Structures are given as C-alpha cells and as structure tokens.
Structure 1
Amino acid sequence: MKALFFDVDGTLIDEVKHEIPASTLEALRRTREKGNKVFINSGRTVGMLKRIMEMVEVDGFLCGCGTELIYEGASIYYKKLSVEMKQRIKDASDRYGVLVHLEGQHGWHCQPSEKLLRDHPRYQALYENLAGFIGMEGGIDPTPYDGEYEISKFCIETDDGAESGHPSDMEGFREAFGDEFIIIDRGHGFYENVPIGHGKGAAVDRILDYLHLTRADAYGFGDSSNDEEMFRAVGHPVAMGQHDQVLEAYHPFITKRVEEDGIFYAMEQLGLL
C-alpha cells in the first residue's frame, strides 16, 4: 500500500477553469482500486475545501497546512489557536499594516479596517477578489468577524509601500509571531502562517505514522513553495509542469501541467495505476 498526497490549486485543480481534469479523477479512482490511499494535502482549512470535497473521492484530507487531519470522514487531529492568539492576530492588521486572513474549520474571515484601507489602498481590490473566489468555493464563515469562531492558521497580504508610502512592518510582524508560527513566503507579498510543529510535511508524518507506513511508501504531488515541507517528508516528490523553482532542490519527478493531464501522466509513469 502506498500513500499519495496532493496539493489542490495548480496540482489537482487548474487555476484558470478551477476544475479537476477527468484524467485526474480517473487516475485517483484507479490507484485507490489498487489499495493505495489518496489524501488532499492543502493549505486550505476544511471550511475552505467544501467544493473540493464534492468534486473528488479520496481517503482523507490534510487541511490547513496540517492543522487538521481527516481520515475516512473522521477528524483524527486538530490544532486550534487560542482566543487570545486570535485576538493578537486580528490586532496585528493595523499594527503592522497587513491584511489578515483568518482561517478555521468553518471557513475564512477577513475585515480590513477603514484605517488599513486608507493607508494601503491596494488591499481593497485584494480583499474583494479573494472574497469573491472564496465565496464561489463556499468557504466564507458567516459568523460575524468579532463573533465566536475558531481558527487554526492565518495568512497576510503585505504592502511594499511603493504606491501607498506606508510599507508593512514585516520586521515587527516577524518579531511578534516568528517564535510561534512558521512564516511561509508565498511570493508577491503573501505569507502563510502555520503554528510551529505543523505544516504539510508534519501532516504527512502524522498520517504515515497513523497508517504504519514509511517515507518510502509516500508520494507527494505539488507545485508551490508551501509544498516544500511535503517534498521533504515523502520518498517520491512529484512537481507539476508549472512549479515554484524552490521545489527542484528535492529532485522531483517533473510531470506535465495540470491541464495537460499531468497527474495521470505522472502516476502512470511511476507505476501507481
């Protein structure tokens, strides 16, 4: 039995049509019929994976960069941030000039203040675009921003100050949160913040231990910088045809692009079908 771990955006789903190719669904079905276990390993929390869950049949979901593990429909692990930490993160928005995205089991929260939008006008479009996309995915938590809800991770957008004259204080942000979170630079001023001890690699480790499998039994499919930890954790990393160059340090099998049947091609070449 092998364990296969898949990133979502740019790996299972193309980022233009936001669909899973029919060839990918066929490959997942066939490898599961052989007795292999298939997992979605995503930076999205479970509340932001609702549409994906309706699109594909898999054995489990590793959500929120490893902050929640779901196997055969049951949550077997969850890391919830404290109420105090959630408030600290919300306060960081105006303090460091960053647009904060809170992410939890029930979905996404974001509410930039008037001051933040006044100092950083570019955040308005970022907020509206992301709200539109996440709304389409069914990932917005309807609970009021200042209400009671849990989160397990968060992301931030930053401003270099070139247009606004108000650069984000990333030095201050790192000093405030760097001892408690892995701060992943996703590029273009976007940072994903995951509690220490978690991440896509830690998620793989926990599932392999749960299933009594080894690193040699694990295949990881990804395309972006937050897949780097997953590539470290698996014995067989697979990079999509379009991928972040940081992944090449792990000497992955490089397949075709997602829309070019890259998942099917890789699984066929690797003997997983």
Structure 2
Amino acid sequence: MTAQFDSAALFGRWTGDVLGRGQLDLVPALVADTYFQHTQEGNSNLSAGELADAMAREAVAAPGQRHIIDDFAVLPGWIWLRYRVAQGEGSAEQVAFSGLQLYRVEAGKLAEGWGARTAPGVDWAAPIAGAPPPPMDEGEEPVDLPLRAHLTWAYTEEIWKSGRSDLHPEYFDAPFYRHDALGNSVQLQTAAIYRGVAQAVAANPGLRFRTFNSALSDRHSWSRWQASSPGGAGLTWLDSGRLQVFRFRNNRMAETWTLGANPGVTWDDDA
C-alpha cells in the first residue's frame, strides 16, 4: 500500500466517519498508539484512547456539531484541512469556529497533528462587510504548479525579507482577501498588502522565517511556519507556530487564511 493511498483512505474515514458522523469508536483504528498533538495551547502526547476521550468530551459539551471541510489536500504522508464546525441546517446554521489542521500520516494512521481554531463564532465563509464575494473559478487559467510554487516561496523569501513594495505586484490578484483568527476578513488592494509588509519589516529588524512543512494542491498552497526577530515589536505571531493557506486564481494569490499557536508556543523543540 502506497503512502498516497494510505493518506487518501485515511482522509475519507477520518473526515467522513469520525468528524462527519461522530463514530469515535473508530479512533483507535485510525490513530497511532502515541499521537503527538500540537494546539494553540501547547504540545502533548496522547494515546488513541485519550484522543477519543477528548473528542467525546467536546461532543457532549456541544451536541449536534459537525465539521464542514472547505478545502483540503491529501498528499503522501500528509493531510491538510481548512474547515468550519457548525450546528443547525440551512438558515438556522450557526458556525462555532473555523480552523486549520495538518496531520502527519504514518503506517496508514494519524501520527501527529498541528491545529488552530479561530475565536468563537468566526465563520470564514461569511460575506465580508462592504466587499463583493471573492471571485472563484470563472475563467480560470490552466493550473501552473511550478509558478505557484515559486510565488509561495517568493512571498516569504523576497517580499517579506526585503519589505520592498516594488517587488512583483503581479503576484497578487486584485483585490486580495485575507482572513485571520479574530474574524478580521478584509479585502485588500496590492498597495495595502505591501504597505503592511513594509511596516512590519521596518519594526522587526532581522525578521526570519522558517518553513517546516509545505504543499501544493490544484488551487492552494499550504504551509506550517514560524517567524522570529531579535528586535521584534508589535507582531503577536512572532515565535509561535503558524498554519497558512493561500488560494490561487489565474495563478495569482487571491485569498489567504492564517492561524497559529498562542504567543510563545513554538510547536517545535528546536525552533
């Protein structure tokens, strides 16, 4: 059995049977004996039974909640998710929170996970006040994965490291949509993106990024990273683990979602 098949089969059972239908009795069959968990609060090792118990307590505390998978990538050894947890149906639906999750797959089971949630009530699928919905796939150009890989790399290595506003404005769709943990979903023009980057770089000399995991799917790039700055000021996400997803449209960055650990929670012993 290949690693790709392992991940795909596991994705279907985990998201469909466990997260979708609440069949927590399947957790021991789908999770490694020791599961390494990284959350906003910190890092821990759990047995499969302990993870099932924790999920059961959440289900009792919030009955009727279900996971809605908005985007995903299933790759050899890895599963990436962007999701919402909701109650009710149709017009009565209420979103409890939105989230990002990365799983490492080993021997056909979930062996490690990194996850973060938005503040309560944040629905990343809700309309952005005063802005039209982000354009999706109409007139989409053929997928150019090498170009998208370069854009994802250059966003950090060229734009963020330099703080320059004259580098590659063609990288971004106009307008660009950004979503964060507090529900601050905004529509930005390219100039505003670069202005924010330049201000952050100027206030944080020596800003350094480390990417621990990254992946490309047809319409998205996914990454787990951490930033540090010896003279940092004003960036709450310094020195804490982060998960980020970019959505591409016509081979440009069109939308991004970012979540991470609480300040000072690194997710990595050597970070």
Normalising by the residue count of structure 1, what TM-score does the alignment of the two structures yield? 0.26
- Which of structures 1 and 2 has the larger relative contact order (alpha carbons within 8 angstroms, sep 6+)? 1
Q: Select the structure that is richer in helix.
A: 1
Normalising by the residue count of structure 2, what TM-score does the alignment of the two structures yield? 0.26
